[in-house]
A and B are shown apart, each in its own frame.
Chain A
Amino acid sequence: MDSLQNNGEQSAKFKRIRRMIITRVLIAPFLIVMLVCGVLVYFFADALGRRALGELSRITEGHRALVDEFLAEQVSALEFTATTRSFEELASGNRLDTLFLDLKSKFPAFEDIGVFDEKGHHVAYVGSYDLEGKDYSNTDWFKAVSRRGVYVSDVFKGYRNVPHFVIAAQRIEGGRPWYLRATIDSAYFSNLVKNVRVGSTGQAFIVNGQGVFQTGLSSGDRLKQQDPDWRLYRKAETGVESFTARASDGTMYLYAVGRLQETGWLLVVRQKATDAYAPLARAVGVAVLVIALGGGVVVLTAFVLASGLAGQLAVVEVEKREMSNKLLAAGKLAEVGEMSAGMAHEINNPLQVMMAECYLINDVLNDLEIPDKNLTPADLSTIRDSMAQISMQISRCSLITQGLLKFARKSDPALHEVDLGDMVEDVVSMVDKRAHIDGVSIVVSAEKGLPRIMSDESQLQQVFLNLLNNALYAVHNRPGAEIRIAVQQEHNEIVVSVADNGCGIEPENLSKIFLPFFTTKPVGQGTGLGLSTCYGIVERLGGRIEVQSEPGAGTVFTVRMPLSHAPAHPGA
């Protein structure tokens, strides 16, 4: 179950790696593409906007000239007529008839024509309405023309109830003013601007100085109403201005506005921004499509790549685990080899003593074989003494072999309750003799009543034996050599520290000591597997191993084992 859980962790880890690769591989190109697109769209939109506004301006300019010319023509025709005729001549209906026909043949926009005396009485009229005899003295146009001489009205419905506007001219004849007034067909006039077409939503219209429509909008007749967007362009000066603005209905429009010289009216040409920017929308649409398709391909590629990479990492991880297991086994083997060499040496001393005792007994027995030689009490005590000594040395040997057996019996992977204090004492007893020979004192201080932990005793023994061997090596041939081992509880950990006052570890080596095959011992004397094995074992048992060292002053290895922990790999 543990391995299952571990597999879960592993696969989560690789998923994380894969996600990381995918995001990092994608984010940078994506950002760059977006940036490039943004820049392109910005410049394209800018150019498009300029072009559209430029076109609107050109149209406005052209039509303004056209309308101005049209108005100027009508006005001058009327003025000319007024100055070349007399009031009496025109007041008699027949003359006005022929005049109107003549005028209309040249200027078809004229609807009708009328003559007014100085009091505003309509004295003569030619046209389709019956307006003769009506009093116009209170109308706006009459007041304006009597003041200014020439007047062009705004579009209005007047008595006839049809949109039109009038042009009036004053003539002073013999100190008495009279007036000639012509009506211009509003529809005729509107057609001049109605025909303007820009894109699919472009439209042109004319408003007067107060923003009241003078021509119908192609999008619906709103004649005589004030344009709700009047405020946007009312400040336009004599030239043509173009700009983009949001109309009251919330739509963005491109505007070009020019003021008519004759009447002060404004010619407005506008186009919906969406229409003007339609090519941009199409381009963006295509770009988004390309990015989406290309992005999909890139995402797919990145996904495949990252999955492959993560898969390879997983394989490497498994290989690493296998390798570390092999290293662990090799470390064990090397440890057994080192142990047995040490054991052989320790056994040699008692064997030597026994050998000497045997020769001594043999000497005594040889003496006894001489005829007439009797066993003296001294001989007897020599033999007894030697036998006692031999038996003593035998038990010494058996202690050593027991230690070896204890160490070697590590095939059982199961977890047991381990008292680290006792275990450390056991391990110390294994090397005590050697330490004594080397003149090293080993001081163990274990806290009383430490809780037991669930762990693998033989593996931990291997760890501490290794640490002790290293400590012995470090203090070798140093005066006052001492190894201090402390076992204590810190929070929810049992902490075992092995401190020596030996040669220490150089700082540049400190980071490498747990690597397999790293050793500072002369060739052939160290496998470089000891500490890496320790590290592997402690990690697998859920603990940590740390090192602090000062060259020339000593080294402290600290092993921290958790009180309650389900080890990652029991007995792996």
Chain B
Amino acid sequence: MSIVQILLVDDEERFLSTTKILLEKRGMNARTATGGQEALNILAGNPVDVVILDVKMPGMDGVETLRRIKRDHPLVEVIMLTGHASVESAVEGLKLGAFDYVMKPCDVPELVEKIKEAFARKQAMDEKIRKARIDRIISHPMAVFDKRTDLDD
């Protein structure tokens, strides 16, 4: 089982730094971003399994960021961070494909639990995809040479 790659997105920098320490102490690998655009940049160049995403952010807000993440990286799981006042955004997030949401202020154990669940699902999904590709290669060996097939994905 590989280490979970997490991306924390929030406009509160102190929250980012502290939570990063807490998660890393719990055997996870965390990156941080203070805004939606920065998060997308990181996603584009780094392996990420789970994104913790604040709904309310200056600039690109959480829902929009989620929409783009799901468009560009459909396999990445997203956990929404919401306040009481923005439960509607959380619901919208779930409809857009977020894995789950956590109410602010959130418990670290609760957050960790959700991250683990999300990561498990991501791994299961990855596994299914790998199996599907192997099946295809077995039934159509020539497909290995098909340029469009990228086994290292």
Contact = CB atoms under 8 A, between A and B. Distances in A.
Interface of A: 341-342, 344-345, 348-349, 351-357, 359-360, 363, 386, 389, 436-439, 477
10 contacts: A342-B85, A352-B81, A352-B104, A352-B105, A353-B12, A355-B108, A356-B15, A356-B18, A439-B58, A477-B61
Top 6 A-B pairs ranked by shortest CB distance?
A: A351-B105, A356-B18, A348-B83, A355-B105, A352-B105, A348-B104
Contacts of B104: 348-349, 351-352
Given A345-B85, A353-B14, A355-B108, 17 more contacts: A341-B85, A344-B85, A345-B56, A348-B83, A349-B104, A352-B12, A353-B15, A353-B18, A354-B105, A355-B106, A356-B18, A356-B19, A356-B22, A359-B22, A389-B18, A438-B58, A439-B58
Nearest to A435: B58
A360 B85 CA distance: 27
Q: By CB atoms of chain A within 10 A, which of B12, B18, B57, B104 has the most? A: B18
Contacts, number: 62
B58 to A, nearest CB: 4
A437 B12 CA distance: 10
B58 A352 contact: no
A410 B113 CA distance: 46
A272 B105 CA distance: 112
Contacts of B22: 356, 359-360, 363
A516 to B, nearest CB: 25
Q: Is the interface of A mostly helix, strand, loop or mixed?
A: helix
Interface in B62-99: 81, 83-86
Interface residues of B, number: 24
B137 interface: no
B107 interface: yes
A360 B18 contact: yes
Contacts of A349: 12, 15, 104
Contacts of B14: 353, 356, 389
A460 B137 CA distance: 73
B100 interface: no
Contacts of A348: 83-84, 104-105
A437 B15 CA distance: 16
A436 B34 CA distance: 14
Contacts of B56: 345, 437
A477 B57 CA distance: 11
Interface in B6-39: 11-12, 14-15, 18-19, 21-22, 25
A439 B61 CA distance: 10
A495 B21 CA distance: 52
A355 B19 CA distance: 10
